[in-house]
A and B are shown apart, each in its own frame.
Chain A
Amino acid sequence: AQKVTQAQTEISVVEKEDVTLDCVYETRDTTYYLFWYKQPPSGELVFLIRRNSFDEQNEISGRYSWNFQKSTSSFNFTITASQVVDSAVYFCALSESRDDKIIFGKGTRLHILP
């Protein structure tokens, strides 16, 4: 069965600090997708990244970076030089190729303090 674990329920950091959000997943499929979404207080889901299981390259997009390690089934997300606008709930998610259902982790609530 597929499962996504975000062990950090809530994190608070001071603005400009770097912060890493952890994500560990479980799946029996060899083909799958991993995602990160941001959910600001307004509620909508903002798509941040998708990574397929065959692409272990790390990715950087501005202040955001992602570290995908199949050996440890982890897909961690780092925000460098955090800003107050980064405050939100961040969800890691998994989708197996066989049915495309997206299974979400429980989310990490990130507070960036001014």
Chain B
Amino acid sequence: GAVVSQHPSRVICKSGTSVKIECRSLDFQATTMFWYRQFPKQSLMLMATSNEGSKATYEQGVEKDKFLINHASLTLSTLTVTSAHPEDSSFYICSARDWGTGGQPQHFGDGTRLSIL
């Protein structure tokens, strides 16, 4: 079945560091990927829609200069949290749409747990 690989699964770093998270579709092409954030004991909130070859579309309230998204190929989208601070600590999870199956259901990565000290 379709698999989405997310890397790293966990990262701990100091405040002020920039952190890059990768989301790869392993056996299908994903023209669109989505990035979600989940704070402890809360729901998943959509941050942005990542489109291959074009700029990402950010949800209201999400700082595009802080959360840089690059979708340079049909199988890879990256989310960079720039100058991360403790309040950015969260669980980040991506999903990808496989148009070969009509785009549904989306396939989720296993998530990245980001801890900023």
Q: Which residues of A contact B (CB under 8 A)?
A: 33, 35, 37, 43-45, 47, 50, 91, 95, 99-107, 109
Contact = CB atoms under 8 A, between A and B. Distances in A.
A37 B95 CA distance: 13
Interface in B35-66: 41-46, 49
Contacts of B111: 43-45
B108 A95 contact: no
B34 A43 contact: no
Contact of A106 (B34, B43, B97, B113): B43
Contacts of B28: none
Contacts of A37: 108
A102 B43 contact: no
B43 to A, nearest CB: 5
A100 B110 contact: no
Interface in B94-117: 95, 97, 103-108, 110-111, 113
A101 B44 contact: no
Interface residues of B, number: 22
B93 A106 contact: no
B32 interface: yes
Nearest to A49: B105
B27 to A, nearest CB: 16
Contact of A50 (B32, B91, B104): B104
B4 to A, nearest CB: 10
A47 B43 contact: no
Contacts of A33: 104-105
Contacts of A43: 91, 93, 110-111, 113
Contacts of A102: 34, 46, 95, 106
Given A95-B106, A100-B104, 8 more contacts: A33-B105, A43-B111, A43-B113, A45-B93, A45-B111, A100-B97, A102-B95, A104-B43
Contacts of A47: 105, 107-108
A37 B105 CA distance: 11
